[in-house]
Structure 1
Protein backbone atom coordinates (compact mmCIF):
# COMPACT_ATOMS: atom_id res chain seq x y z
CA UNK A 1 0.00 0.00 0.00
CA UNK A 2 1.08 3.57 -0.71
CA UNK A 3 -0.26 6.34 1.52
CA UNK A 4 -0.10 9.60 -0.40
CA UNK A 5 -1.04 13.09 0.76
CA UNK A 6 -1.24 16.61 -0.57
CA UNK A 7 -1.44 19.79 1.52
CA UNK A 8 -1.10 23.49 0.93
CA UNK A 9 0.81 24.48 4.07
CA UNK A 10 0.31 28.25 3.58
CA UNK A 11 3.86 28.91 4.77
CA UNK A 12 5.92 26.06 6.13
CA UNK A 13 7.26 28.05 9.07
CA UNK A 14 3.74 28.83 10.31
CA UNK A 15 2.63 25.24 9.64
CA UNK A 16 5.51 23.93 11.75
CA UNK A 17 4.46 26.13 14.63
CA UNK A 18 1.05 24.46 14.39
CA UNK A 19 2.44 20.92 14.35
CA UNK A 20 3.37 19.99 10.79
CA UNK A 21 6.53 18.24 11.98
CA UNK A 22 4.48 15.96 14.25
CA UNK A 23 1.95 15.31 11.48
CA UNK A 24 4.73 14.28 9.09
CA UNK A 25 6.28 12.01 11.73
CA UNK A 26 3.08 10.26 12.75
CA UNK A 27 0.73 10.17 9.72
CA UNK A 28 2.53 7.31 7.97
CA UNK A 29 2.56 8.81 4.49
CA UNK A 30 4.91 7.41 1.86
CA UNK A 31 4.60 10.44 -0.42
CA UNK A 32 3.58 14.02 0.46
CA UNK A 33 3.05 16.88 -2.00
CA UNK A 34 3.33 20.39 -0.56
CA UNK A 35 2.27 23.74 -1.95
CA UNK A 36 2.83 27.32 -0.78
CA UNK A 37 5.95 26.36 1.19
CA UNK A 38 6.87 30.04 0.89
CA UNK A 39 10.42 29.98 2.21
CA UNK A 40 13.83 30.37 0.62
CA UNK A 41 16.10 27.42 1.32
CA UNK A 42 18.14 29.39 3.86
CA UNK A 43 14.99 30.21 5.87
CA UNK A 44 13.57 26.69 6.12
CA UNK A 45 12.99 25.66 9.75
CA UNK A 46 15.08 22.81 11.17
CA UNK A 47 13.58 19.46 10.17
CA UNK A 48 11.31 21.25 7.72
CA UNK A 49 10.54 18.09 5.76
CA UNK A 50 10.84 15.49 8.50
CA UNK A 51 12.43 12.13 7.82
CA UNK A 52 11.88 12.31 4.07
CA UNK A 53 13.81 12.82 0.90
CA UNK A 54 12.70 16.19 -0.43
CA UNK A 55 12.58 17.78 -3.84
CA UNK A 56 11.75 21.46 -3.29
CA UNK A 57 11.28 24.09 -5.97
CA UNK A 58 11.18 27.37 -4.01
CA UNK A 59 10.73 29.72 -6.94
CA UNK A 60 12.20 33.20 -7.11
CA UNK A 61 9.36 35.33 -5.71
CA UNK A 62 10.13 36.18 -2.06
CA UNK A 63 7.50 34.87 0.33
CA UNK A 64 5.34 33.32 -2.39
CA UNK A 65 4.53 29.89 -3.82
CA UNK A 66 7.05 27.04 -3.56
CA UNK A 67 6.19 23.38 -4.18
CA UNK A 68 7.74 20.13 -2.95
CA UNK A 69 7.42 16.36 -3.10
CA UNK A 70 8.54 14.29 -0.10
CA UNK A 71 9.32 10.58 -0.54
CA UNK A 72 10.62 7.72 1.61
CA UNK A 73 13.20 6.76 -1.01
CA UNK A 74 15.28 9.06 -3.18
CA UNK A 75 13.43 9.70 -6.48
CA UNK A 76 14.96 8.24 -9.60
CA UNK A 77 14.24 11.39 -11.63
CA UNK A 78 13.21 15.01 -11.02
CA UNK A 79 11.61 17.49 -13.42
CA UNK A 80 10.65 21.13 -13.09
CA UNK A 81 9.99 23.98 -15.47
CA UNK A 82 13.66 24.84 -16.03
CA UNK A 83 14.27 25.82 -12.40
CA UNK A 84 16.83 24.97 -9.75
CA UNK A 85 15.60 22.68 -6.98
CA UNK A 86 16.67 21.57 -3.54
CA UNK A 87 17.40 17.84 -3.33
CA UNK A 88 18.07 16.54 0.15
CA UNK A 89 17.93 13.24 1.99
CA UNK A 90 16.93 13.01 5.65
CA UNK A 91 20.57 12.76 6.80
CA UNK A 92 22.11 15.15 4.28
CA UNK A 93 23.03 18.80 4.26
CA UNK A 94 21.15 21.07 1.92
CA UNK A 95 22.15 20.48 -1.68
CA UNK A 96 21.15 22.47 -4.72
CA UNK A 97 21.14 20.66 -8.00
CA UNK A 98 19.82 21.20 -11.47
CA UNK A 99 17.04 18.77 -12.43
CA UNK A 100 17.70 16.33 -15.23
CA UNK A 101 16.74 17.67 -18.67
CA UNK A 102 13.07 16.93 -19.30
CA UNK A 103 11.98 14.98 -22.33
CA UNK A 104 8.77 17.03 -22.47
CA UNK A 105 9.06 20.50 -24.04
CA UNK A 106 7.45 23.27 -22.04
CA UNK A 107 4.08 24.31 -23.44
CA UNK A 108 3.85 27.75 -24.95
CA UNK A 109 2.84 30.26 -22.28
CA UNK A 110 4.37 28.46 -19.30
CA UNK A 111 7.86 29.88 -19.70
CA UNK A 112 6.81 33.12 -18.00
CA UNK A 113 5.87 31.06 -14.90
CA UNK A 114 9.01 28.89 -14.78
CA UNK A 115 10.55 31.00 -11.99
CA UNK A 116 7.46 31.10 -9.78
CA UNK A 117 7.77 27.80 -7.87
CA UNK A 118 4.50 26.30 -9.08
CA UNK A 119 5.38 22.79 -10.31
CA UNK A 120 7.70 19.90 -9.61
CA UNK A 121 7.46 16.20 -10.45
CA UNK A 122 9.39 13.09 -9.50
CA UNK A 123 9.60 9.46 -10.59
CA UNK A 124 9.16 7.34 -7.48
CA UNK A 125 11.75 4.66 -6.73
CA UNK A 126 9.28 2.49 -4.80
CA UNK A 127 6.64 2.23 -7.56
CA UNK A 128 6.33 2.95 -11.31
CA UNK A 129 4.51 6.21 -10.67
CA UNK A 130 5.30 9.82 -11.57
CA UNK A 131 4.05 12.21 -8.88
CA UNK A 132 3.62 15.95 -9.41
CA UNK A 133 2.86 18.85 -7.06
CA UNK A 134 1.10 21.89 -8.54
CA UNK A 135 0.09 25.26 -7.14
CA UNK A 136 -2.26 26.85 -9.66
CA UNK A 137 -2.68 30.65 -9.48
CA UNK A 138 -5.56 31.90 -7.35
CA UNK A 139 -6.69 34.36 -9.99
CA UNK A 140 -9.43 36.93 -9.61
CA UNK A 141 -12.70 38.10 -11.10
CA UNK A 142 -13.20 39.07 -14.73
CA UNK A 143 -13.72 42.77 -15.29
CA UNK A 144 -17.47 42.31 -15.87
CA UNK A 145 -17.92 40.98 -12.32
CA UNK A 146 -15.75 43.47 -10.49
CA UNK A 147 -17.86 45.70 -8.22
CA UNK A 148 -15.54 47.77 -5.99
CA UNK A 149 -18.00 47.95 -3.07
CA UNK A 150 -18.14 44.15 -2.91
CA UNK A 151 -14.41 43.47 -3.23
CA UNK A 152 -11.73 43.15 -0.53
CA UNK A 153 -8.99 43.74 -3.10
CA UNK A 154 -8.56 46.73 -5.36
CA UNK A 155 -10.20 46.17 -8.78
CA UNK A 156 -7.64 45.27 -11.42
CA UNK A 157 -9.72 45.25 -14.57
CA UNK A 158 -9.60 41.46 -14.73
CA UNK A 159 -5.81 41.15 -14.92
CA UNK A 160 -5.50 38.37 -12.33
CA UNK A 161 -8.38 36.48 -13.90
CA UNK A 162 -6.86 36.69 -17.38
CA UNK A 163 -3.47 35.59 -16.05
CA UNK A 164 -5.01 32.53 -14.39
CA UNK A 165 -6.95 31.58 -17.52
CA UNK A 166 -3.81 31.86 -19.66
CA UNK A 167 -1.95 29.67 -17.17
CA UNK A 168 -4.73 27.07 -17.18
CA UNK A 169 -4.84 26.99 -20.96
CA UNK A 170 -1.07 26.44 -21.20
CA UNK A 171 -0.98 23.95 -18.35
CA UNK A 172 -3.70 21.83 -19.95
CA UNK A 173 -1.38 21.28 -22.92
CA UNK A 174 1.54 20.58 -20.62
CA UNK A 175 -0.48 18.15 -18.52
CA UNK A 176 -1.42 16.08 -21.55
CA UNK A 177 2.21 15.93 -22.65
CA UNK A 178 3.43 15.02 -19.18
CA UNK A 179 0.85 12.28 -18.72
CA UNK A 180 1.73 10.74 -22.09
CA UNK A 181 5.44 10.96 -21.30
CA UNK A 182 4.90 9.10 -18.02
CA UNK A 183 3.01 6.39 -19.88
CA UNK A 184 5.85 6.10 -22.39
CA UNK A 185 8.22 5.49 -19.46
CA UNK A 186 5.92 2.73 -18.21
CA UNK A 187 4.62 4.83 -15.31
CA UNK A 188 1.27 5.84 -13.91
CA UNK A 189 0.79 9.57 -13.28
CA UNK A 190 -0.59 11.38 -10.21
CA UNK A 191 -1.08 15.15 -10.14
CA UNK A 192 -1.72 16.59 -6.68
CA UNK A 193 -2.09 20.08 -5.42
CA UNK A 194 -4.09 23.21 -4.84
CA UNK A 195 -5.86 23.91 -8.11
CA UNK A 196 -7.79 26.92 -6.75
CA UNK A 197 -10.91 25.69 -8.54
CA UNK A 198 -13.91 23.82 -7.15
CA UNK A 199 -15.35 21.51 -9.78
CA UNK A 200 -19.04 20.92 -8.99
CA UNK A 201 -21.83 22.01 -6.67
CA UNK A 202 -20.74 19.28 -4.26
CA UNK A 203 -17.37 21.02 -3.87
CA UNK A 204 -18.56 24.33 -2.39
CA UNK A 205 -20.70 24.62 0.72
CA UNK A 206 -22.47 27.78 -0.49
CA UNK A 207 -22.42 27.04 -4.19
CA UNK A 208 -25.36 29.24 -5.18
CA UNK A 209 -23.80 32.49 -4.02
CA UNK A 210 -20.33 31.33 -5.13
CA UNK A 211 -21.20 31.12 -8.82
CA UNK A 212 -19.74 34.58 -9.39
CA UNK A 213 -16.72 34.01 -7.14
CA UNK A 214 -13.20 33.33 -8.32
CA UNK A 215 -12.53 29.61 -8.17
CA UNK A 216 -16.10 28.63 -9.05
CA UNK A 217 -16.68 30.51 -12.28
CA UNK A 218 -18.25 28.47 -15.12
CA UNK A 219 -15.14 28.71 -17.27
CA UNK A 220 -12.90 27.54 -14.41
CA UNK A 221 -15.17 24.59 -13.69
CA UNK A 222 -15.24 23.72 -17.39
CA UNK A 223 -11.44 23.64 -17.37
CA UNK A 224 -11.41 21.04 -14.58
CA UNK A 225 -14.05 19.03 -16.43
CA UNK A 226 -11.90 19.02 -19.58
CA UNK A 227 -8.93 17.50 -17.74
CA UNK A 228 -10.94 14.51 -16.52
CA UNK A 229 -12.08 11.41 -18.34
CA UNK A 230 -12.10 7.63 -17.76
CA UNK A 231 -9.15 7.36 -20.15
CA UNK A 232 -6.92 10.21 -18.99
CA UNK A 233 -7.21 11.47 -15.39
CA UNK A 234 -9.66 10.60 -12.62
CA UNK A 235 -10.60 12.71 -9.61
CA UNK A 236 -9.72 10.09 -6.99
CA UNK A 237 -11.62 11.61 -4.07
CA UNK A 238 -14.79 12.04 -6.12
CA UNK A 239 -14.46 8.47 -7.40
CA UNK A 240 -14.49 7.22 -3.81
CA UNK A 241 -17.22 9.65 -2.69
CA UNK A 242 -19.36 10.40 -5.75
CA UNK A 243 -22.34 11.90 -3.93
CA UNK A 244 -20.74 13.46 -0.84
CA UNK A 245 -20.79 17.19 -0.19
CA UNK A 246 -17.06 17.85 0.01
CA UNK A 247 -15.06 16.59 1.73
CA UNK A 248 -13.93 20.20 1.86
CA UNK A 249 -10.22 20.99 2.00
CA UNK A 250 -10.09 24.78 2.45
CA UNK A 251 -11.87 27.13 4.87
CA UNK A 252 -11.49 30.86 5.35
CA UNK A 253 -9.81 31.97 8.55
CA UNK A 254 -12.60 34.55 8.86
CA UNK A 255 -15.83 34.08 10.74
CA UNK A 256 -17.18 30.61 11.51
CA UNK A 257 -16.50 28.98 8.16
CA UNK A 258 -14.31 26.28 9.69
CA UNK A 259 -16.57 25.56 12.66
CA UNK A 260 -19.58 25.24 10.34
CA UNK A 261 -17.60 23.25 7.73
CA UNK A 262 -18.51 25.88 5.14
CA UNK A 263 -15.54 25.16 2.92
CA UNK A 264 -14.36 24.47 -0.59
CA UNK A 265 -12.79 21.35 -2.11
CA UNK A 266 -9.92 22.74 -4.16
CA UNK A 267 -7.09 20.28 -3.31
CA UNK A 268 -6.97 17.25 -5.58
CA UNK A 269 -5.52 13.85 -6.39
CA UNK A 270 -5.87 13.43 -10.18
CA UNK A 271 -4.62 9.98 -11.22
CA UNK A 272 -4.40 7.89 -14.34
CA UNK A 273 -7.27 5.39 -14.39
CA UNK A 274 -5.31 2.27 -13.41
CA UNK A 275 -3.82 4.01 -10.39
CA UNK A 276 -7.15 5.62 -9.44
CA UNK A 277 -8.80 2.19 -9.33
CA UNK A 278 -6.39 1.11 -6.57
CA UNK A 279 -7.47 3.93 -4.23
CA UNK A 280 -9.41 2.45 -1.30
CA UNK A 281 -9.72 5.21 1.28
CA UNK A 282 -9.47 8.98 1.61
CA UNK A 283 -9.26 11.09 4.75
CA UNK A 284 -9.18 14.87 4.97
CA UNK A 285 -7.22 15.77 8.12
CA UNK A 286 -9.20 18.80 9.26
CA UNK A 287 -6.92 19.20 12.24
CA UNK A 288 -3.99 17.53 13.94
CA UNK A 289 -4.29 17.03 17.68
CA UNK A 290 -6.94 19.74 17.72
CA UNK A 291 -4.93 22.29 15.71
CA UNK A 292 -5.38 23.42 12.10
CA UNK A 293 -2.12 23.07 10.20
CA UNK A 294 -3.16 25.61 7.57
CA UNK A 295 -6.25 27.13 6.00
CA UNK A 296 -6.08 23.98 3.85
CA UNK A 297 -6.27 20.43 5.20
CA UNK A 298 -4.16 17.45 4.06
CA UNK A 299 -5.93 15.10 1.67
CA UNK A 300 -4.64 11.59 2.40
CA UNK A 301 -5.37 8.68 0.05
CA UNK A 302 -4.43 5.02 0.41
CA UNK A 303 -3.51 3.33 -2.87
CA UNK A 304 -3.31 -0.45 -2.76
CA UNK A 305 -0.46 -0.63 -5.23
CA UNK A 306 0.66 -2.67 -7.08
CA UNK A 307 -2.54 -2.94 -9.05
CA UNK A 308 -3.90 -6.43 -9.69
Structure 2
Protein backbone atom coordinates (compact mmCIF):
# COMPACT_ATOMS: atom_id res chain seq x y z
CA UNK A 1 0.00 0.00 0.00
CA UNK A 2 1.42 3.37 -1.03
CA UNK A 3 0.69 6.20 1.39
CA UNK A 4 1.67 9.86 1.14
CA UNK A 5 1.46 13.18 2.94
CA UNK A 6 1.51 16.66 1.42
CA UNK A 7 1.23 20.13 2.88
CA UNK A 8 -0.31 21.80 -0.16
CA UNK A 9 -0.16 25.41 1.14
CA UNK A 10 -3.61 26.03 -0.36
CA UNK A 11 -5.40 23.38 -2.42
CA UNK A 12 -6.52 25.75 -5.16
CA UNK A 13 -3.00 27.06 -5.77
CA UNK A 14 -1.55 23.53 -5.63
CA UNK A 15 -4.13 22.34 -8.17
CA UNK A 16 -3.05 25.06 -10.61
CA UNK A 17 0.57 23.99 -10.12
CA UNK A 18 0.08 20.31 -10.94
CA UNK A 19 -1.29 18.71 -7.78
CA UNK A 20 -3.70 16.47 -9.67
CA UNK A 21 -1.17 15.39 -12.29
CA UNK A 22 1.31 14.38 -9.61
CA UNK A 23 -1.06 12.39 -7.42
CA UNK A 24 -2.74 10.72 -10.42
CA UNK A 25 0.63 9.31 -11.39
CA UNK A 26 1.84 8.51 -7.88
CA UNK A 27 -0.06 5.26 -7.36
CA UNK A 28 -1.02 6.39 -3.85
CA UNK A 29 -3.82 4.59 -2.04
CA UNK A 30 -4.02 7.05 0.87
CA UNK A 31 -3.01 10.73 0.98
CA UNK A 32 -2.94 13.02 4.02
CA UNK A 33 -3.20 16.74 3.27
CA UNK A 34 -2.42 19.77 5.37
CA UNK A 35 -3.07 23.50 4.86
CA UNK A 36 -5.99 22.89 2.53
CA UNK A 37 -6.85 26.53 3.27
CA UNK A 38 -10.23 26.65 1.57
CA UNK A 39 -13.84 26.98 2.67
CA UNK A 40 -15.94 23.93 1.94
CA UNK A 41 -18.16 25.89 -0.46
CA UNK A 42 -15.10 26.93 -2.50
CA UNK A 43 -13.36 23.56 -2.72
CA UNK A 44 -12.16 22.56 -6.20
CA UNK A 45 -13.78 19.12 -6.19
CA UNK A 46 -11.86 17.99 -9.28
CA UNK A 47 -8.78 17.91 -7.06
CA UNK A 48 -10.21 14.88 -5.26
CA UNK A 49 -11.95 12.86 -7.98
CA UNK A 50 -11.43 9.13 -7.45
CA UNK A 51 -10.88 9.52 -3.73
CA UNK A 52 -13.16 9.64 -0.73
CA UNK A 53 -12.20 12.71 1.31
CA UNK A 54 -12.54 13.32 5.03
CA UNK A 55 -11.86 17.01 5.64
CA UNK A 56 -11.74 19.17 8.74
CA UNK A 57 -11.46 22.60 7.15
CA UNK A 58 -11.55 24.50 10.45
CA UNK A 59 -13.18 27.85 11.05
CA UNK A 60 -10.25 30.15 10.23
CA UNK A 61 -10.87 31.54 6.76
CA UNK A 62 -7.98 30.86 4.41
CA UNK A 63 -5.90 29.00 7.01
CA UNK A 64 -5.10 25.46 8.09
CA UNK A 65 -7.39 22.53 7.22
CA UNK A 66 -6.46 18.83 7.22
CA UNK A 67 -7.79 15.93 5.18
CA UNK A 68 -7.30 12.24 4.49
CA UNK A 69 -7.99 10.88 1.00
CA UNK A 70 -8.81 7.17 0.69
CA UNK A 71 -9.91 4.88 -2.13
CA UNK A 72 -12.87 3.61 -0.10
CA UNK A 73 -14.99 5.51 2.39
CA UNK A 74 -13.47 5.09 5.88
CA UNK A 75 -15.32 3.16 8.55
CA UNK A 76 -14.56 5.64 11.33
CA UNK A 77 -13.61 9.33 11.40
CA UNK A 78 -12.49 11.39 14.40
CA UNK A 79 -11.41 15.02 14.70
CA UNK A 80 -10.87 17.71 17.29
CA UNK A 81 -13.99 19.56 16.13
CA UNK A 82 -16.27 16.62 15.40
CA UNK A 83 -17.35 18.57 12.31
CA UNK A 84 -15.99 16.88 9.18
CA UNK A 85 -16.92 17.25 5.53
CA UNK A 86 -17.13 14.01 3.54
CA UNK A 87 -16.59 14.12 -0.23
CA UNK A 88 -17.38 10.95 -2.12
CA UNK A 89 -15.39 9.80 -5.15
CA UNK A 90 -18.20 11.08 -7.39
CA UNK A 91 -17.81 14.60 -5.87
CA UNK A 92 -20.95 14.39 -3.71
CA UNK A 93 -20.35 16.53 -0.62
CA UNK A 94 -21.98 16.07 2.77
CA UNK A 95 -21.50 17.01 6.40
CA UNK A 96 -20.28 14.13 8.53
CA UNK A 97 -20.99 13.89 12.24
CA UNK A 98 -17.58 12.54 13.11
CA UNK A 99 -16.53 11.48 16.57
CA UNK A 100 -15.10 14.34 18.58
CA UNK A 101 -11.71 13.81 20.19
CA UNK A 102 -11.76 14.77 23.86
CA UNK A 103 -8.41 16.22 24.92
CA UNK A 104 -8.13 19.11 27.36
CA UNK A 105 -5.02 20.69 25.84
CA UNK A 106 -6.11 20.22 22.23
CA UNK A 107 -9.65 21.47 22.85
CA UNK A 108 -8.60 25.11 22.38
CA UNK A 109 -7.50 24.20 18.84
CA UNK A 110 -10.73 22.39 17.93
CA UNK A 111 -11.88 24.97 15.36
CA UNK A 112 -8.50 25.34 13.64
CA UNK A 113 -8.49 22.27 11.39
CA UNK A 114 -5.26 20.72 12.71
CA UNK A 115 -5.88 17.01 13.44
CA UNK A 116 -8.01 14.32 11.86
CA UNK A 117 -7.89 10.52 11.89
CA UNK A 118 -9.68 7.82 9.93
CA UNK A 119 -9.93 4.03 10.07
CA UNK A 120 -9.51 2.53 6.61
CA UNK A 121 -12.13 0.17 5.21
CA UNK A 122 -9.69 -1.83 3.07
CA UNK A 123 -6.78 -2.31 5.50
CA UNK A 124 -6.31 -2.73 9.28
CA UNK A 125 -4.92 0.78 9.66
CA UNK A 126 -5.75 4.06 11.37
CA UNK A 127 -4.32 7.13 9.59
CA UNK A 128 -4.00 10.62 11.08
CA UNK A 129 -3.26 13.92 9.33
CA UNK A 130 -1.58 16.63 11.41
CA UNK A 131 -0.81 20.31 10.91
CA UNK A 132 1.09 21.39 14.01
CA UNK A 133 1.35 25.10 14.93
CA UNK A 134 4.57 26.77 13.85
CA UNK A 135 5.18 28.40 17.22
CA UNK A 136 7.84 31.02 17.82
CA UNK A 137 11.39 31.34 19.11
CA UNK A 138 10.63 32.73 22.57
CA UNK A 139 12.51 34.03 24.55
CA UNK A 140 14.84 34.88 21.68
CA UNK A 141 12.18 36.84 19.75
CA UNK A 142 10.37 39.70 21.49
CA UNK A 143 6.59 39.33 21.64
CA UNK A 144 6.70 35.65 20.71
CA UNK A 145 5.68 34.11 24.03
CA UNK A 146 1.99 33.58 23.17
CA UNK A 147 2.77 31.64 19.98
CA UNK A 148 5.47 29.67 21.75
CA UNK A 149 3.19 28.64 24.62
CA UNK A 150 0.37 27.72 22.22
CA UNK A 151 2.66 25.32 20.40
CA UNK A 152 3.95 23.82 23.63
CA UNK A 153 0.38 23.27 24.82
CA UNK A 154 -0.46 21.57 21.53
CA UNK A 155 2.60 19.33 21.89
CA UNK A 156 1.55 18.32 25.39
CA UNK A 157 -1.94 17.38 24.25
CA UNK A 158 -0.73 15.69 21.08
CA UNK A 159 1.62 13.40 22.98
CA UNK A 160 -1.31 12.13 25.04
CA UNK A 161 -3.49 11.81 21.96
CA UNK A 162 -0.92 9.77 20.07
CA UNK A 163 -0.67 7.32 22.93
CA UNK A 164 -4.44 7.03 23.20
CA UNK A 165 -5.02 6.67 19.46
CA UNK A 166 -2.24 4.13 19.01
CA UNK A 167 -3.50 1.99 21.89
CA UNK A 168 -7.11 2.24 20.78
CA UNK A 169 -6.15 1.26 17.24
CA UNK A 170 -4.15 -1.71 18.52
CA UNK A 171 -7.11 -2.86 20.61
CA UNK A 172 -9.15 -2.96 17.39
CA UNK A 173 -6.45 -4.88 15.53
CA UNK A 174 -5.22 -1.84 13.61
CA UNK A 175 -1.81 -0.34 13.02
CA UNK A 176 -1.41 3.43 13.51
CA UNK A 177 0.20 6.01 11.22
CA UNK A 178 0.36 9.75 11.78
CA UNK A 179 1.58 11.92 8.92
CA UNK A 180 1.88 15.58 8.26
CA UNK A 181 3.64 18.84 8.95
CA UNK A 182 5.09 18.71 12.46
CA UNK A 183 6.92 22.05 12.09
CA UNK A 184 9.88 20.50 13.94
CA UNK A 185 13.19 19.29 12.58
CA UNK A 186 14.10 16.51 14.96
CA UNK A 187 17.87 16.24 14.57
CA UNK A 188 20.78 17.96 12.87
CA UNK A 189 20.26 15.62 9.93
CA UNK A 190 16.85 17.18 9.39
CA UNK A 191 17.87 20.66 8.28
CA UNK A 192 20.76 21.93 6.23
CA UNK A 193 21.71 25.03 8.26
CA UNK A 194 21.30 23.60 11.76
CA UNK A 195 24.10 25.68 13.31
CA UNK A 196 22.43 28.99 12.50
CA UNK A 197 18.94 27.77 13.46
CA UNK A 198 19.47 26.65 17.04
CA UNK A 199 17.41 29.62 18.24
CA UNK A 200 14.73 29.26 15.55
CA UNK A 201 11.22 27.92 16.00
CA UNK A 202 11.12 24.38 14.75
CA UNK A 203 14.60 23.56 16.05
CA UNK A 204 14.44 24.71 19.66
CA UNK A 205 15.89 22.20 22.16
CA UNK A 206 12.56 21.69 23.91
CA UNK A 207 10.80 21.01 20.59
CA UNK A 208 13.40 18.45 19.62
CA UNK A 209 13.23 16.82 23.07
CA UNK A 210 9.47 16.54 22.73
CA UNK A 211 9.86 14.88 19.33
CA UNK A 212 12.33 12.39 20.75
CA UNK A 213 9.91 11.61 23.59
CA UNK A 214 7.16 10.34 21.26
CA UNK A 215 9.51 7.95 19.42
CA UNK A 216 10.63 4.53 20.57
CA UNK A 217 10.82 0.98 19.20
CA UNK A 218 7.61 0.20 21.13
CA UNK A 219 5.52 3.28 20.37
CA UNK A 220 6.13 5.25 17.15
CA UNK A 221 8.93 4.95 14.60
CA UNK A 222 10.13 7.60 12.14
CA UNK A 223 9.75 5.58 8.93
CA UNK A 224 11.96 7.73 6.70
CA UNK A 225 14.79 7.84 9.21
CA UNK A 226 14.54 4.09 9.76
CA UNK A 227 15.03 3.53 6.02
CA UNK A 228 17.60 6.33 5.58
CA UNK A 229 19.54 6.35 8.87
CA UNK A 230 22.63 8.15 7.60
CA UNK A 231 21.11 10.58 5.12
CA UNK A 232 20.96 14.34 5.49
CA UNK A 233 17.26 14.95 5.07
CA UNK A 234 15.71 14.05 2.75
CA UNK A 235 14.28 17.54 3.18
CA UNK A 236 10.60 18.23 2.55
CA UNK A 237 10.29 22.04 2.97
CA UNK A 238 12.17 24.90 1.34
CA UNK A 239 11.46 28.61 1.52
CA UNK A 240 9.96 30.19 -1.59
CA UNK A 241 12.56 32.92 -1.25
CA UNK A 242 16.09 33.07 -2.60
CA UNK A 243 17.96 29.95 -3.66
CA UNK A 244 16.80 27.63 -0.86
CA UNK A 245 15.17 25.13 -3.19
CA UNK A 246 17.83 25.24 -5.90
CA UNK A 247 20.61 24.74 -3.35
CA UNK A 248 18.60 22.20 -1.32
CA UNK A 249 18.79 24.33 1.82
CA UNK A 250 15.78 22.70 3.36
CA UNK A 251 14.15 21.27 6.47
CA UNK A 252 12.66 17.83 7.05
CA UNK A 253 9.46 18.65 8.92
CA UNK A 254 6.96 16.35 7.16
CA UNK A 255 6.92 12.85 8.64
CA UNK A 256 5.46 9.37 8.62
CA UNK A 257 5.42 8.12 12.24
CA UNK A 258 4.18 4.53 12.40
CA UNK A 259 3.43 1.89 14.97
CA UNK A 260 6.42 -0.48 15.15
CA UNK A 261 5.00 -3.38 13.14
CA UNK A 262 3.82 -1.05 10.39
CA UNK A 263 7.20 0.70 10.33
CA UNK A 264 8.96 -2.63 9.88
CA UNK A 265 6.74 -3.35 6.89
CA UNK A 266 7.84 -0.21 5.04
CA UNK A 267 9.97 -1.13 2.04
CA UNK A 268 10.65 2.36 0.68
CA UNK A 269 10.25 6.02 1.63
CA UNK A 270 11.02 9.10 -0.43
CA UNK A 271 10.39 12.81 -0.92
CA UNK A 272 8.91 13.63 -4.32
CA UNK A 273 11.02 16.75 -4.73
CA UNK A 274 10.12 18.58 -7.91
CA UNK A 275 12.78 18.78 -10.62
CA UNK A 276 12.88 22.59 -10.73
CA UNK A 277 11.70 25.59 -8.75
CA UNK A 278 9.12 26.42 -11.44
CA UNK A 279 7.47 22.99 -11.05
CA UNK A 280 6.87 23.28 -7.31
CA UNK A 281 3.32 22.60 -6.16
CA UNK A 282 3.89 24.05 -2.68
CA UNK A 283 6.71 25.08 -0.37
CA UNK A 284 6.47 21.43 0.82
CA UNK A 285 7.04 18.39 -1.39
CA UNK A 286 5.08 15.14 -0.95
CA UNK A 287 6.54 12.45 1.31
CA UNK A 288 5.58 8.87 0.44
CA UNK A 289 6.21 5.34 1.67
CA UNK A 290 5.31 1.85 0.56
CA UNK A 291 3.97 -0.50 3.26
CA UNK A 292 3.28 -4.21 3.13
CA UNK A 293 -0.19 -4.57 4.62
What range is the shorter-chain TM-score in? over 0.9
1:33-44 matches, cutoff 5 A? 33-44=32-43
Contact 2:236 2:252 in 1 (8 A): yes
- The gaps in structure 2 that reach 5 residues or longer are none
CA drift at 1:46: 3.6
Change (3 A) 1:90 1:106: same
Asked if residue 108 in structure 1 is aligned to residue 107 in structure 2, the reply is: no
Report the counterpart of residue 173 of structure 1 in structure 2: 160
**Alignment partners' CA distance in 2, 1:116 and 1:73:** 26
Contact 2:52 2:89 in 1 (8 A): yes
**Alignment partners' CA distance in 2, 1:92 and 1:21:** 15
**Alignment partners' CA distance in 2, 1:291 and 1:50:** 22
Report the counterpart of residue 304 of structure 1 in structure 2: 292
Contact 1:140 1:161 in 2 (8 A): yes
Contact 1:198 1:221 in 2 (8 A): yes
Contact 1:25 1:50 in 2 (8 A): no
1:192-211 matches, cutoff 5 A? 192-211=179-198
Asked if residue 229 in structure 1 is aligned to residue 228 in structure 2, the reply is: no
Report the counterpart of residue 44 of structure 2 in structure 1: 45
Among 110, 130, 137, the alignment partner of 1:141 is 137
Report the counterpart of residue 118 of structure 1 in structure 2: 114
- Equivalenced residues, count: 292
Asked if residue 287 in structure 1 is aligned to residue 264 in structure 2, the reply is: no
CA drift at 1:65: 0.3
Asked if residue 278 in structure 1 is aligned to residue 278 in structure 2, the reply is: no
Asked if residue 60 in structure 1 is aligned to residue 47 in structure 2, the reply is: no
Asked if residue 84 in structure 1 is aligned to residue 71 in structure 2, the reply is: no
CA drift at 1:157: 4.1
Normalization by structure 1: what TM-score?
0.92
**Alignment partners' CA distance in 1, 2:266 and 2:144:** 43
Determine helix, strand or coil for the equivalent of 1:86. strand
Determine helix, strand or coil for the equivalent of 2:47. coil
Report the counterpart of residue 152 of structure 1 in structure 2: none
CA drift at 1:48: 2.2
**Alignment partners' CA distance in 2, 1:30 and 1:7:** 14
Deviations 1:65-119 (A, max 9, x none): 00000011111111111331111211142111211x35xx622211111111001
**Alignment partners' CA distance in 2, 1:282 and 1:189:** 17
Deviations 1:127-176 (A, max 9, x none): 10000000000011112x11xxxxxxxx4241111110111011111111
State the superposition RMSD in angstroms: 1.3
Asked if residue 161 in structure 1 is aligned to residue 148 in structure 2, the reply is: yes
**Alignment partners' CA distance in 2, 1:56 and 1:85:** 5
Contact 2:49 2:90 in 1 (8 A): no
CA drift at 1:288: 6.8
